[in-house]
Amino acid sequence: MLSLDLVVCGRAFVKGEIKYSEIGITDGKISAVKGSLAGGEKRIDVPGGVIFPGFVDPHVHFRDPGMTEKEDFLSGTLSAVHGGVTCVLDMPNTIPPVTDVNSLLEKKDRIKGRAYIDYGLFAAVTPGCNAGMMAPFVPGFKLFMGSTTGKILLNDDEEIRSAVKDILRTGKRISVHAEDNSMIGRETERNCRDHLRNRPVEAEINALRRLSRFKGMKINICHNTNAESVGMAKELGFTTEVTMHHLFFEPEKFSSSEYKVNPPIRNTAVRDKLYEAFIKGKISMFGSDHAPHTLSDKSKDFDSAPSGIPGVETTIPIAMNMVRKNTIPLAQAVSMGSETPAASFGMKKGKIEEGYDADLSVFDTRKFTNISARELHSKAGHSPYDGWEAVFPELVMVGGEIQIDKGEFCGDTVGRDAYGKL
């Protein structure tokens, strides 16, 4: 008989279908999934909703270290877990940026014991970075071809070729902010329409053209804003991310600095084609690109206000509301929010199967509510999704430990670095 610490029982999403399952957990891992399991020191019955694998957000900016007035790992992971996210991958454009072994080690040491969910830390693609040494301890590397928060821009083709070649040799995936920096304008901006003028869709498409030399390699294109780049990326064999803000907002209606982000929200025609590609299942995964700034920062005049939108707590609840309304199938939400990001970055997460991490989330799509920005947990204190319908999780478990129960936080800092310590 299996030695089980815990058995979770209920309707579960297992191998593409919902069926009654008993999920055995031992030492933080799923040790058995059957119709009936004997034993277990503790049993949890889930009376309503569906048990899903925990969701993975492959693109967050938790601002830690260096900008912790905007967010830190405690507030960021607390926000994430309330949205059903059990693992995040944090980007390297902090202060200092993660560009070498020392800065990676310092960030790992700082964050240890300060996370409510599991996490991984990206390293930046820079000329001569020691990819081989860092690779085992990061989910991947981030290439910034377009300027944004931080100063780790790399937009020279020869430098990109050399760095990418070294990194891909390690087997790690490279996530790319694909905007050609030479095509980004610097004219004064008064609203999101001006921001769009300065960062045209052609900059994004041209960046993809320049990456075509890496066809078939482990490249992930972040925050796609248009269907053409999605199609190009798919033809090249790259994975793709999409954010909720690029799916739903357009500068004609949403013009204030609240919606200022890089790459920018696109006009209605471009946005609608992106949405159509999403609905047809042509995009690999969700990535919130959670990029919080304080309300005072966002309240500055548009040209001075920083770019970025918070979203780690709202992305999956909005997706689950889309499932509730039959906008997208349940399998697509799980694939984009859990299975694909976990598999793309080499984690034993994202599935309710034996040997996978015991990260689980329970959503009941009969229980929808309206998002209240005041009740979200990011330090940002604001959200462009205030008032939107969403389905938040009833229960969230990380490594077999309950963090959310009956929709309320009851956990502790059990989150671990999914990629270990140098």
Q: Cα angle at 20 between 19 and 23, to 5 degrees?
A: 110
Does the CA dihedral 368-373-375-380 come out positive or negative? Answer: positive
Letter for the amino acid at 278?
F
- Across the chain, which has 422 residues, the per-10-residue mean pLDDT values are 87 97 97 91 93 98 97 98 98 96 96 98 92 96 84 88 93 97 96 98 97 97 98 98 98 97 98 98 98 97 97 98 98 98 98 98 97 98 98 98 97 96 70
CB neighbour class for 38 (10 Å; exposed up to 12, middle 13-18, buried from 19)? exposed
Identify the active-site residue in 64, 194, 289, 359: 289
Whether 289 is catalytic is: yes
> What is the C-alpha to C-alpha distance for residues 396 and 421, in angstroms, rounded to an integer?
26
> What is the C-alpha to C-alpha distance for residues 136 and 140, in angstroms, rounded to an integer?
9
35, 20 contact by CB (below 8 A): yes
What's the whole-model pTM score? 0.97
Query: Any bridge partners for residue 18, and if so which?
Result: 13
Q: What is the structure's pLDDT at 79?
A: 98
Please spell the DSSP secondary structure of 27-50, one letter per residue: TTEEEEEES-----S-EEE--SSE
Q: What is the structure's pLDDT at 217?
A: 97
